[in-house]
Amino acid sequence: MKTSENTMLVTGGGSGIGRELARRFNALGNTVIVVGRRLETLEATIAGRRNMHAMVLDVEDPEAITALADRVVAEYPSLNVLINNAGIMRREDLTRTRDLHDSEQTVVTNLLGPIRLTNALTDHLVNQPDAAIVNVSSGLAFVPLSSTPTYNATKAALHSYTVSLREQLKGKIEVIELAPPAVHTELNPASRPAHAMPLDEFIDEVMALFRGQPTPREILVEQVNFLRWAERDGHFDQALEMLNAH
Ligand SMILES: NC(=O)c1ccc[n+]([C@@H]2O[C@H](COP(=O)([O-])OP(=O)(O)OC[C@H]3O[C@@H](n4cnc5c(N)ncnc54)[C@H](OP(=O)(O)O)[C@@H]3O)[C@@H](O)[C@H]2O)c1
């Protein structure tokens, strides 16, 4: 993937990983549009920076996704990179019958959100030079944290979907998966382990990997490899136990 002179759309760009990715890519000479539900946090992301723009989008709303995609393509016809980063993480107690609102919202945001936004932009992106889609999954796609079951499941599904997307779009759009380990952000601080990476350190490593030519199809910082390759390397049970030991 090219790392400069792109026009990029970043979901969840008002905080955490999305905000830092948006700012770092902008600093490398990219035009970046950040989207999310809260305009004030998006405006804080872009404040004082050139070639950064903010638009409100709730990725739970399919009509809003279509409208946003149409608007972005009309206002920024050079759009060539989509980063599906927005996500939520909720704790869920599976030991009793419960209200499934959190489960359903997690599936709609973390899985249907990227599927719908990618779909809305595919006809545009396939005709763009140097087009790329980056889907942000998680190390928990590969070894689950049992207290956040639907979250893990959506990330495992997003991993699988991304593999199919890459195969179908081969030669047309570069498809990259970014699977972070635990990182210090606003995402469910109650589930964050003590060894979570500082955000700056994580983004430094991620940007170095993005600069690799060709860009790896999976952006994996060193700390996530233990989870990413647990099954292949024969330490899945050990990883599951370590992750879930409280
Ligand atoms: N931090 C970690 O440890 C970690 C580890 C692995 C993977 N990840 C993944 O990294 C991505 C970014 O998470 P983060 O850690 O940076 O957490 P974060 O700071 O909470 O950021 C999540 C972003 O998603 C946006 N978002 C949530 N629901 C949305 C919706 N319905 N429509 C539009 N935007 C929405 C939020 O903005 P609004 O609230 O303003 O909408 C927020 O800016 C997520 O996909 C997460 O699963 C994080």
Res 92: pLDDT = 97
% of the chain surpassing 90 pLDDT: 95
The neighbour count for residue 189, using CB atoms within 10 Å, is 10
Neighbours of 209 (CB within 10 A): 15
Q: How confident is the model at residue 123, as a pLDDT?
A: 98
Is residue 103 domain-resident?
yes
List all residues 6 or more positions away from 28 whose beta carbon is below 8 Å from its beta carbon: 3, 4
Nearest to 82 by CA among 40, 126, 39: 126
With beta carbons less than 8 A apart as the criterion, state whether 210 and 218 touch. no
Q: How many structural domains compose the chain?
A: 1
Residue matched to tokens 């400069």: 4
What is the side-by-side order of every strand in the sheet holding 31-36? 52-56, 31-36, 7-11, 81-84, 132-136, 174-178, 218-219
Find the 19 Cα to ligand 1 centroid distance in Å.
10
Domain span at residue 163 reads 7-243
pLDDT at 191 > cutoff 80: no
Asked whether residue 2 is assigned to any structural domain, the reply reads: no
CB-defined site of ligand 1, < 6 Å: 11-12, 14-18, 36-38, 41, 57-60, 85-89, 109, 136, 138, 180, 182-183, 185-187
Pocket test for ligand 1, best of 15, 84, 135 (most atoms within 8 A of CB): 15
What pLDDT, on a 0 to 100 scale, did the predictor assign at position 246?
Answer: 72
1 part of a folded domain: no
Tell me the three state secondary structure of residue 98: coil
Q: What is the pLDDT of residue 119?
A: 98
Q: Which pLDDT score, from 0 to 100, does residue 192 have?
A: 78
Judge whether 151 counts as a catalytic residue. yes
Catalytic, out of 26, 82, 88, 151: 151
Residue with the nearest Cα to atom 7 of ligand 1? 138
Tell whether the model's pLDDT for residue 88 goes beyond 90.
Answer: yes
Question: How far is C-alpha 163 from the chain's CA centre?
Answer: 15
Residue 226 lies in a domain: yes
> Span 169-195, mean pLDDT?
91
Residue 115 forms part of a structural domain: yes
Mean pLDDT of the chain: 97
pLDDT digits (tens, 9 = 90+) for 130-161: 999 999 999 999 999 999 999 999 999 999 99
List pLDDT tens digits, range 11-41: 999 999 999 999 999 999 999 999 999 999 9
CATH number at residue 141: 3.40.50.720
| Cα 34 to middle of ligand 1, angstroms | 12
- 224-236 residue pLDDT tens: 999 999 999 999 9
For the cut 80, the answer to whether the pLDDT of residue 44 exceeds it is yes
Query: Residue 189 has what pLDDT?
Result: 78
User: Which residue's CA is the nearest one to ligand 1's atom 41?
Assistant: 37
Spell 93-120 as b/e; 16+ CB within 10 A means b.
eeeeeeeeebbeebbbbbbbbbbbbbeb
Tokens of 198: 């500082």
